[in-house]
Amino acid sequence: MKEEIKAYDNVLDLIGNTPLIKLKKITHNMKGNYFAKVEAFNPGHSSKDRIALHIIEEAERQGILKPGDTIIETTSGNTGFSLAMVSIIKGYKCILAVSSKSSADKIDMLKTMGAMVYVCPANVSADDPRSYYEVAKRLHNETEGSVYINQYFNELNIEAHYKTTGPEIWEQTAGKITHLVACSGTGGTISGTAKFLKEQNPEIKVIGIDAYGSVLQKYHETREFDSNEIYPYRIEGLGKNLIPTATDFDKIDKFEKVTDESSAHTARELANTEGLFVGYTSGAAMQGLKQLDEEGEFNEESNIVVIFPDHGSRYMSKIYNDDWMNQQGFFDTESELIEQIEYV
C-alpha cells in the first residue's frame, strides 16, 4: 500500500479554520455557555491573516497584482505581520509605513518577515507629508503595480470575515449561537462575522468591545463624531479616534467599554485559568463578557461566542511584564505584585 505524504503546500494553507474552545473556569460564576474563537491559531498568530490573504487574492483575481508587485500599508501591528507573511509566499514586495512610536521589537519582526519598513514621525498630524498615512499614499502613487491595503476603509476587510469567520462560527456552533462578542478596531471582524451570522439568524445579538478614549460607542448611539470622547489609552487594536468605513454600525447591537487595567488583569487570568496565552484585546473581550454578565445580558441558555484576536507573545514587554504593569499603576497592592510574580 502506497502512503501519501501529508503536508501543507505552505503556511497560507493554515489560515482560518481556527478552533472554538470552551471557557469553563474563568466563567464558573457567570450565566451561559462561553466559547472562544482563538485566532492565535492562524500561522501569523492573529485574525489579520484572514484579511491579508483575502485582500491580496482579490487583487490577484482582479488582475491588479502581478508577481513582483508591491503591497503597501500603514501598520506595525498584526496586519503588517500578516501582509509580510502573505507577500513572502506569493512573491510580492511589502512596504510598511510605521509610526516612530512602534517598538524596536515590532520593527525587527516585520523586517525579519521581509518587509521594507519606513519609520515616520509620530508627532505630526495625519495630513502632514511626513505622517505614515501620507508616506504610504505617496509610495502607492509613485509605485507602479502597487496595492494600498487601507484596512480601515476597505470593504474587503469586512468581506474576509463574512466569507470565513462567520461561516466557521455558524458551523462550529451548529447554529446554536445566541451572542457574538468581538473587539472593534477597524470593525472588519465584528461587521463581517455579524453580517453572515445575522443572515442565518437575525435574533443573534452582536456586541462590540470598545476602549475608554475611543469614539465608537458614542458614534453608535448618536451617529455623531464626538471628539470629546478621545483621550489616550494603552490597549492597541481596540477602539479608534476616527470612524472607519470598515465598521458596519447597523450590524452591531451595542458596544461595551472596558478599561486598560481590567483588560490587562483579565488577559493574565485567561492564561492562568484556561491556559490561553492571548493578547491584550482578548483580555479586553473577556473583560467585556464579565461586565455584560453582571449587567444581566445572558441567561443559562445563552451560547456566547467571543473572538480572541491574537497571541500573547506580542505583549511580553507590556501586560505580561510585571515592571510594566507596576509602572502603569495596575498592581494595587504589594501582595498582588508578589502573587503575579509567582504565577507569571
Residue 300 CB, nearest approach to ligand PMP (Å): 29
- Out of 154, 186, 217, 266, the only residue in the binding site for ligand PMP (CB under 6 A) is 186
The reply on whether position 32 binds ligand PMP by CB under 6 A is no
The reply on whether position 166 binds ligand PMP by CB under 6 A is no
The reply on whether position 281 binds ligand PMP by CB under 6 A is yes
**Is-catalytic flag, 48?**
yes
The reply on whether position 279 binds ligand PMP by CB under 6 A is yes
The reply on whether position 150 binds ligand PMP by CB under 6 A is no
Over the window 109 to 128, marking each residue x when it contacts ligand PMP by CB under 6 A and - when it does not, the resulting string is --------------------
What's the chain's length in residues?
344
- Out of 16, 77, 283, 288, the only residue in the binding site for ligand PMP (CB under 6 A) is 77
| Binding region for ligand PMP (CB under 6 A) out of 80-88, 180-188, 264-272, 322-330 | 180-188
| Binding region for ligand PMP (CB under 6 A) out of 15-23, 102-110, 182-190, 336-344 | 182-190
Residue 159 CB, nearest approach to ligand PMP (Å): 12
**3-state SS of the chain?**
CCCCCCCCCCHHHHCCCCCEEEECCCCCCCCCEEEEEEHHHCCCCECHHHHHHHHHHHHHHCCCCCCCCEEEECCCCHHHHHHHHHHHHHCCEEEEEEECCCCHHHHHHHHHCCCEEEEECCCCCCCCCCCHHHHHHHHHHHCCCEEECCHHHCHHHHHHHHHCHHHHHHHHCCCCCCEEEEECCCCHHHHHHHHHHHHHCCCCEEEEEEECCCCHHHHHHHCCCCHHHCCCCCCCCCCCCCCCCCCCHHHCCEEEEECHHHHHHHHHHHHHHHCCCECHHHHHHHHHHHHHHHCCCCCCCCEEEEEECEEHHHHCCCCCCHHHHHHCCCCCCHHHHHHHHHHC
Catalytic residue among 37, 48, 106, 251: 48
Residues of span 302-321 touching ligand PMP by CB under 6 A? 309-310
Beta carbons within 8 Å of 252's beta carbon, 6+ residues apart: 184, 190, 191, 194, 206, 207, 208, 220
For ligand PMP, the nearest residue by Cβ is: 237
How many chain residues interact with ligand PMP (CB under 6 A)? Answer: 16
- Out of 42, 70, 76, 78, the only residue in the binding site for ligand PMP (CB under 6 A) is 78
- 38 vs 28: CA distance, rounded Å: 19
The reply on whether position 16 binds ligand PMP by CB under 6 A is no
Helices 188-200 and 155-163 cross at an angle (nearest 10°) of 50
Residue 237 CB, nearest approach to ligand PMP (Å): 3
Residue 56 CB, nearest approach to ligand PMP (Å): 17
Closer to ligand PMP by Cβ: residue 213 or 237 = 237
Residue 306 CB, nearest approach to ligand PMP (Å): 12
The reply on whether position 185 binds ligand PMP by CB under 6 A is yes
The reply on whether position 239 binds ligand PMP by CB under 6 A is no
> Do 171 and 199 form a contact (C-beta atoms < 8 A)?
no
Closer to ligand PMP by Cβ: residue 16 or 77 = 77
The residues that touch ligand PMP, with contacts defined as CB under 6 A, are 77-78, 183-190, 237-238, 279, 281, 309-310
Among all residues, which ones are annotated catalytic? 48
